[in-house]
């Protein structure tokens, strides 16, 4: 269980990115974090594993207050938090297997990771995860030889290799086509149910979020302005989160125009990526 209590982040330039954000995520729940660009979604999930240092407040994972950890303890706490990234953030020149095994770095001594002699249990588990995400036969390929959807599956396997107690997911579908986006979101939510993992998913695509997550939290200018079941999100709350706009067509069953945009973007991305 993750508890975020009065979390505030002020950057040194004086901008407040987060203002007393408070919520908790019980085991097995997938929380979608929505809000306009610059609302602090990315800062919020990076505060949890302290890739960004919070200014004040508390973040408790189980019994540990993550905000107060020293360097060593922080490394140990990070092992318990798996992270999945926008644009995958795989180390492109390493093989798929090495990328998955890098999820074990916090658990093995330097000489083991340096010589690539990971414990047999870790390797077995890495194969099992690659099989779970459907990439078993790609284990020895270089990460940059895979397609976008496949890379994100490797990213998921890497996060799971940590045997995490919490998943942080940052825009997992930002550069994927609509079909792959749905497959990736389904995979993430299935895995969270299987393992009873709590997860926070930053996501721009509101209909996609409504389709897959258990609960939505809306951020605007660093403050929580919505926290409820996905089907409770209506036009008024969307306006509250994102600002005034014509929201017709945003409901999950009639997202055609939005979808067409995505397809065009996906095609463009596929064209530049290959």
Partner 1 sequence: MTPDSAYSRRWRRPPQLVTTRGWRLMLPLLVLAYLVLALGSLEVDAGRVVEGLSRGARFVQGFLQPDFTSRWQDIRQGLIESLTMTLTATVVGVLVSVPIGIGAARNLSPRPVYLVCRSIVAVSRSLQEIIIAIFLVAMFGFGPFAGFLTLAFASIGFVAKLLADDIEEASASQIEAIRATGASGWQLIHYAIQPQVMPRLIGLSLYRLDINFRESAVIGIVGAGGIGATLNTAIDRYEYDSAGAILLLVIAIVMLSEYGSSHLRKYLQ
221 lies in the site for partner 1, by CB under 8 A: no
Residues within window 91-110 making contact with partner 1, judged by CB under 8 A: 91-94, 98, 102-107, 110
**With respect to partner 1, which residue has the nearer C-beta, 133 or 168?**
168
204: tokens are 């721009």
Please enumerate in sequence order all residues whose Cβ is within 8 A of that of 263, keeping only pairs 6 or more positions apart, or say none: 177, 178
78 lies in the site for partner 1, by CB under 8 A: yes
- Strand 56-61, strand 64-65: pairing: antiparallel
Identify the residue among 27, 75, 128, 268 touching partner 1 (CB under 8 A): 75
Give how far Cα 89 sits from Cα of 58, 119, 144, Å: 28, 24, 11
77 lies in the site for partner 1, by CB under 8 A: yes
In the complex, least distance from residue 139 CB atom to partner 1, rounded to whole angstroms: 17
In angstroms, rounded to a whole number, what is the distance separating the alpha carbons of residues 54 and 47? 6
83 lies in the site for partner 1, by CB under 8 A: yes
In angstroms, rounded to a whole number, what is the distance separating the alpha carbons of residues 101 and 104? 5
Residues within window 149-168 making contact with partner 1, judged by CB under 8 A: 155, 158, 162, 168
* DSSP for residue 120: H
Residues that bind partner 1 (CB under 8 A): 49, 51, 75-79, 81, 83, 85-87, 89-94, 98, 102-107, 110, 113-114, 155, 158, 162, 168
């Amino acid at each position: 269980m993750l508890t975020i209590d009065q979390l505030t982040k002020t950057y040194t330039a004086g901008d407040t990115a987060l203002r007393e954000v408070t919520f908790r995520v019980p085991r097995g729940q997938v929380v979608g974090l929505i809000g306009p660009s610059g609302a602090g979604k990315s800062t919020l999930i990076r505060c949890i594993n302290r890739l960004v240092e919070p200014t004040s407040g508390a973040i408790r994972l189980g019994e540990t207050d993550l905000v107060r950890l020293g360097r060593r303890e922080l490394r140990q706490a990070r092992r318990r938090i798996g992270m999945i990234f926008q644009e995958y953030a795989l180390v492109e020149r390493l093989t798929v297997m090495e990328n998955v095994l890098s999820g074990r770095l916090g658990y093995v001594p330097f000489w083991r990771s340096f010589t690539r002699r990971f414990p047999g249990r870790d390797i077995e588990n890495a194969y099992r995860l690659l099989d779970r995400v459907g990439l078993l036969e790609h284990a020895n390929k270089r990460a940059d030889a895979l397609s976008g959807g496949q890379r994100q599956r490797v990213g998921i396997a890497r996060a799971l290799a940590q045997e995490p107690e919490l998943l942080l997911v940052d825009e997992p579908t930002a550069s994927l086509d609509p079909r792959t986006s749905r497959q990736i979101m389904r995979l993430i939510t299935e895995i969270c149910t299987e393992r009873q993992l709590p997860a926070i998913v930053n996501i721009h695509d509101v209909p996609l979020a409504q389709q897959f997550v258990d609960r939505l939290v809306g951020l605007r200018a660093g403050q929580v302005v919505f926290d409820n079941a996905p089907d409770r999100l209506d036009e008024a709350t969307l306006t509250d989160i994102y600002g005034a706009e014509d929201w017709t067509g945003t409901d999950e069953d009639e997202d055609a125009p939005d979808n067409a945009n995505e397809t065009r973007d996906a095609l463009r991305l596929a064209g530049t990526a290959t």
